[in-house]
Amino acid sequence: MNEYSNKIKIDYFVSWIANFGVVPLFRSILLRLFPLALFFLRRISSVCFVLEGMKFLLSLVIFQKETLLPGPEQKVKIFLILLQLGLAIPAFSNDQSPVSPNDLLVSELPPTTILLGLGEHRQLILPKLERFSVSNKDCLSYKFGKFGQKKGELWILAKKTGFSEIVGQDNKGLTYKLQVYILSKRDQLKLQEVAQSAELAGWKTSWVGHNLSINGKIRNFNDYLLAHQISVSIKERGLLNLSFEDEVAKDIIVSIYRALFENWVDYFRCTYAGMSIECSISESNPPSASLLKTLSDKYLVQFRPVADSAFKKNYRAKLRFFQLTRADGQYFDVGMENLTTSLGSLFNRNALKQLIRQNDVLLQNENVELGLLAEPEVTFQLGDEIEIKLGDEIPYQTYNTEEKSTSLEWKFSGLQFRFKLLKVGEKFQMHYLVSYNRSNENGSSAGPSSLQQSKEEASLFVDSKKPTQLFQVGMIALDHKKRGIPGLSSIPLLGRAFREEGKSQVFKRVSALFMLEEEL
């Protein structure tokens, strides 16, 4: 009994120790440390994934093949990957995007252009490339890695200037095309410098085969000079698609016009297209060679001689001949400058009525009559000689003393006006000749000397659409007056008894106004 009771006490003590001693302690430690150990294990695996990705991207940049854990340590990585397989698979499945049906139809990628200088080598990473061919092995040598860390590495070396094409396929049948252009070191360096200068100017550059394509706008004069430097530098290897902004081209053309005007050049015309400015000049009267060279060097303009007829345009000359007359033949000192009016209004319709109405008091006080003698308008071209006559052809009797006979000659009596217009710079130079022919007092004589003539010649500058008073001529003329009984005075022979003829002196002042207009 005592032995049995002692055994029970021992077992109870042991169970007490098991329940309240070591076992609870181990359980407590396990429950507390197991989540920390699991979290730490997951952290290590995540770091391995991130670090492996960083190393892989770095290897693509420096074209090296490295692994995070080489050799036997690969087993550790495999273990960690399997441990996180339950989390990794859903994550990767969520990141994958569905494949487009169009992607499955692509069997050939667009060709890639590679530009090499003579003696230059290049490394290409094509990990999925299985087979390929090189079209021109004389220009290009190559080496392709098929095994180990160098698998997918294609090394090419430029041996000779020319062109070669590399065509290959990957394991899925996708075709690669590499177009390799090999230039001399000098040409390659020149193209690279030009491309850099064009990009600094804000222009877009691209390669079309072995040619450099440049697109953009010329925004100032420095861009204009740079564009022409590039055009000369890469004349055979450049595809320039540059064009002016309108204001830039107009400023350059204005500078060219100003230089030509200052040197008295009459006939020229400048236009622009793309990045070029072209000026047409007179073939018969071109500017001096030194002036053309100066403008060509400064503004890079091209001059093209053309026929003079290409520059000629029509002009319209409007003339107004006003006449102030005093019937008693006395001299008067009233001219157009004394009348209240403006020269521009004298070219309007009904200008004479308005002029008389405004100056009625002055005309009555001076006993002067105002009239419009003629208002001719003529269309002409610069350089043409224009003649206007105001008067009549009058017969004159001439006597031949040897034959003792008389003959009849017709001569012009009246106002004759000739002028020629030339363009000098921005203005028009007018040269004119005005002559007044009148007969003697009795209207006939024994010879041509009976015709009295006075002339006036002058030159002046005129502006377009601005009226100008050219001249003012005062003269004494004979006024023939016939009075008679109507009907009876017209009877032959007997009518002389019923009519009266008389002559009187009249003083006249003729003023000529001129205005020039350009026809569109």
pLDDT in tens, 38-92: 777 777 777 766 666 566 555 554 544 443 444 444 555 555 555 554 443 443 3
Q: How far apart are CA 155 and CA 72, in angstroms?
A: 31
392 and 492 both lie in a single domain? yes
336 and 321 both lie in a single domain? yes
Decide if pLDDT at 154 tops 60: yes
Q: Which long-range contacts (CB under 8 A, 24 or more apart) does 448-451 make?
A: 448/396, 448/398, 448/409, 448/411, 450/396, 451/396, 451/411, 451/413
Q: Which of 223-232, 301-310, 439-448 has the highest mean pLDDT?
A: 223-232
Q: How far apart are CA 64 and CA 151, in angstroms?
A: 11
Tell me which of 155, 183, 211 is where a domain ends.
Answer: 183
C-alpha triplet 63, 66, 69: angle, nearest 5°: 165
Residue position matching structure tokens 């502006």: 463
Residue position matching structure tokens 């520059």: 311
Decide if pLDDT at 99 tops 60: no
Residue at 23 is within a domain? no
Decide if pLDDT at 162 tops 80: yes
Decide if pLDDT at 7 tops 70: no
Residue at 465 is within a domain? yes
Residue at 42 is within a domain? no
407 and 333 both lie in a single domain? yes
Mean pLDDT for 322-350 is 85
Q: Which residues contact 451 (CB under 8 A, 6 or more apart)?
A: 396, 411, 413, 437, 438, 439, 440
What is the per-residue pLDDT across 353-411, written as a single tens digit (0 to 9) for each?
Answer: 888 888 888 888 888 889 888 899 999 888 889 999 888 877 777 767 777 777 777 77
162 and 250 both lie in a single domain? no
Residue at 103 is within a domain? no
250 and 240 both lie in a single domain? no
Task: Find out whether 245 and 217 touch, Cβ atoms under 8 Å.
Answer: yes
155 and 264 both lie in a single domain? no
CATH number of domain containing 198: 3.30.70.1770
499 and 406 both lie in a single domain? yes
Work out the pLDDT band at 520, boundaries 50, 70, 90: low
Q: How far apart are CA 331 and CA 505, in angstroms?
A: 11
CATH number of domain containing 281: 3.30.70
276 and 361 both lie in a single domain? no
Query: Six-digit token pair at 82?
Result: 């399997």
Work out the pLDDT band at 173, boundaries 50, 70, 90: confident
Residue of 268, 270, 337, 263 whose CA lies nearest to 299: 270
263 and 338 both lie in a single domain? no
Residue range(s) defining the domain that contains residue 210: 186-244
Share the mean pLDDT of the chain. Answer: 76
Q: What is the pLDDT of residue 317?
A: 92
Decide if pLDDT at 325 tops 70: yes
Compute the Cα dihedral for 223, 224, 225, 231 and give only its sign. Answer: positive
326 and 293 both lie in a single domain? no
Mean pLDDT for 278-291 is 87
260 and 347 both lie in a single domain? no
Residue position matching structure tokens 């077992």: 11
Residue at 78 is within a domain? no
Q: How far apart are CA 77 and CA 73, in angstroms?
A: 7
- Structural domains counted in the chain: 4
Residue at 5 is within a domain? no
Tell me which of 207, 224, 244 is where a domain ends.
Answer: 244
- Bridge partner residues of 239 (DSSP): 213
Residue at 208 is within a domain? yes
Range from 176-180, 435-439, 443-447 carrying the lowest mean pLDDT: 443-447
CATH number of domain containing 176: 2.60.40.60
Relative to beta strand 129-134, strand 405-424 is: unpaired
In 283-368, which ranges are E strands? 302-306, 314-326
Q: How far apart are CA 266 and CA 315, in angstroms?
A: 15
